[in-house]
């Protein structure tokens, strides 16, 4: 349940008020393939994550945070545009010409740049590799990171710098400390005006690698588990480095911070806290993720909310914080979370959440979820308040509820574009085979 505090307590918990004469900075931390309960603030114990935990302690932690896709690229489409990726048929991972984020879509960087923001991305892109699709051509003033996923040789594709492709750095595939330095340099360069910083880590996606100093911190763990723990802990340290930079420049109170994962955990060592499934499937383990928001001086600290939220909400919330009006013709699917975050509202003006991953689909309305997580699978009706592990199909007991949710999803999907390309891993069985092979995939 949502925990509420008296008005005076909320005001005190929020901390010092931000500067009134500037728009807030926006920082989005995105961790790749992080399990729902990997962080200490969600109950994780494998590796200490004090810096991510501090964001939850100083802000709001959502128990029912979601992303609109169970794999990387479609999820990032939703984050960047505030719109379901099914609106443009971007159901699967990109990586080939024609599979990019369409030029007709407007990114978060372009929206905030129009509101007077300096815009920077550091880290994984995964939304297109041609010059016209790279971050420097999609509204980002500054950009550096990997085009796609990494491997032990430094990356299956190269890195980008702005709108140009460059060679991978010598540090790759260990990138968290590199990204922290790049992000801090961006903040230093743009501290005089409001900025957007999107820091998209390669961690904890495979290869799960870390600096030797971090590997040595887990001597009692076996090799692969040690690698995962060290990768997660070093990523947390990078978050801490960025937050330290904001504090050193006295900007923390002027910064709205989001922390999410791009999809559910993929590693055998990811902590899913009893959720069913993982990356590649639309069970809760594939789409329910850590979701933390901090804005000192505006958002009361230390609250835990169970209102369902989704990464599509990041853009409209950032725009509201910036004082930028959202136009109806943009057709955003996300909603502004600020009234909920600030304690002014108890819920959101949203009827349902939707998912489409090729042949898989799901819809959640209230505590009820209808999900088909494999090819030709008969939809399963679950009540998440009573069965967050999605173990019991209630279709027979509540046939009208199942029909209601199916009709709701069908109506929503009628307004979407069919998938523009296919991926055999949409099928739940194929996905599970893939996870057994390498625990991961793109």
Please state whether beta strands 353-357 and 360-365 pair in parallel, antiparallel, or not at all (unpaired): antiparallel
Marked catalytic residue, from 51, 90, 126, 205: 126
Q: Is 72 a catalytic residue?
A: yes
Tell me the three-class secondary structure of the chain, residue by residue. Answer: CCCCCCHHHHHHHHCCCCCCCCCCEEEEEEECCCCCCCCHHHCCCCCCCHHHHHHHHCCEEECCEECCCCCHHHHHHHHHHCCCHHHHCCCCCCCCCCCCCCCCCCCHHHHHHHCCCEEEEEECCCCCCCHHHCHHHCCCCEEEEECCCCCCCCCCCCEEECCEEECCCCCCCCCHHHHHHHHHHHHHHCCCCCEEEEEECCCCCCCCCCCHHHHCCCCCCCHHHHHHHHHHHHHHHHHHHHHHHHHHCCCHHHEEEEEEECCCCCCCCCCCCCCCCCCCCCCHHHHECCEEEECCCCCCCCEEECCCEEHHHHHHHHHHHCCCCCCHHHCCCCCCCHHHHCCCCCCCCCCCEEEEECCEEEEEECCEEEEECCCCCCCEEEECCCCCCCCCCCCCCCHHHHHHHHHHHHHHHCCCCCCCCCCHHHCHHHHHHHHHHHCCCC
C-alpha to C-alpha distances, 358 to 82, 91, 262, nearest whole angstrom: 20, 6, 18
Q: Is 126 a catalytic residue?
A: yes
Nearest to 121 by CA among 168, 183, 173: 183
Beta bridge partners of 293: 60, 258
Which residues, 6+ apart, have CB-to-CB distance to 304 below 8 Å? 2, 3, 60, 61, 62, 63
The Cα–Cα gap between 392 and 369 comes to 12
Beta bridge partners of 362: 355, 371
Marked catalytic residue, from 41, 72, 184, 231: 72
Residues annotated as part of the active site: 72, 126
């Amino acid at each position: 349940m949502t925990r509420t505090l008296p008005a005076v307590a909320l005001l005190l918990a929020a901390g010092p008020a931000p500067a009134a004469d500037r728009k807030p900075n926006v920082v989005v931390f995105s961790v790749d393939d992080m399990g729902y309960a990997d962080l200490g603030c969600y109950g994780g114990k494998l590796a200490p994550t004090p810096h991510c935990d501090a964001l939850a302690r100083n802000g709001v932690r959502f128990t029912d945070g979601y992303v609109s896709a169970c794999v990387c690229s479609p999820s990032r489409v939703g984050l960047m545009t505030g719109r379901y990726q099914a609106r443009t048929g971007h159901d699967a991972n990109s990586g080939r010409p024609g599979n990019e984020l369409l030029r007709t879509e407007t990114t978060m960087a372009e929206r905030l740049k129009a509101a007077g923001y300096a815009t920077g991305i550091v880290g994984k892109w995964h939304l297109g590799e041609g010059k016209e699709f790279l971050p420097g051509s999609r509204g980002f003033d500054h950009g550096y990171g990997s085009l796609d996923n990494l491997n032990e040789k430094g990356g299956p594709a190269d890195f980008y710098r702005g709108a140009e492709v460059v060679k991978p750095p010598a540090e790759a595939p260990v990138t968290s400390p590199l990204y922290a330095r790049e992000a801090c340099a961006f903040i230093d360069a743009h501290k005089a005006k409001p900025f957007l910083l999107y820091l998209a880590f390669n961690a904890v996606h495979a290869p799960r690698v870390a600096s030797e100093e971090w590997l040595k911190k887990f001597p009692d763990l076996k090799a692969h588990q040690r690698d995962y723990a060290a990768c997660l802990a070093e990523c947390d340290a990078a978050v801490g480095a960025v937050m330290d930079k904001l504090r050193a420049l006295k900007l923390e109170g002027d910064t709205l911070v989001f922390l999410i994962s791009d999809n559910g955990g993929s590693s055998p060592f990811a902590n899913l806290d009893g959720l069913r499934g993982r990356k590649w499937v639309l069970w809760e383990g594939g789409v329910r993720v850590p979701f933390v928001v901090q804005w000192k001086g505006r958002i009361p600290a230390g609250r835990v909310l169970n209102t369902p939220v989704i990464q599509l909400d990041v853009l409209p919330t950032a725009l509201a914080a910036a004082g930028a009006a959202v136009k109806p013709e943009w057709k955003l699917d996300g909603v502004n979370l600020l009234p909920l975050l600030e304690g002014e509202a108890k819920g959101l003006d949203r009827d349902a959440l939707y998912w489409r991953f090729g042949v898989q689909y799901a819809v959640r309305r209230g505590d009820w979820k209808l999900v088909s997580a494999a090819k030709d699978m008969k939809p399963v009706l679950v009540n998440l308040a009573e069965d967050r592990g999605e173990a019991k199909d209630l279709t027979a007991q509540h046939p009208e509820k199942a029909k209601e949710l199916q009709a709701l999803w069908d109506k929503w999907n009628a307004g979407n574009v069919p998938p523009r390309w296919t991926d055999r891993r949409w099928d739940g069985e194929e996905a599970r085979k893939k996870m057994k092979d390498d625990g991961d995939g793109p």
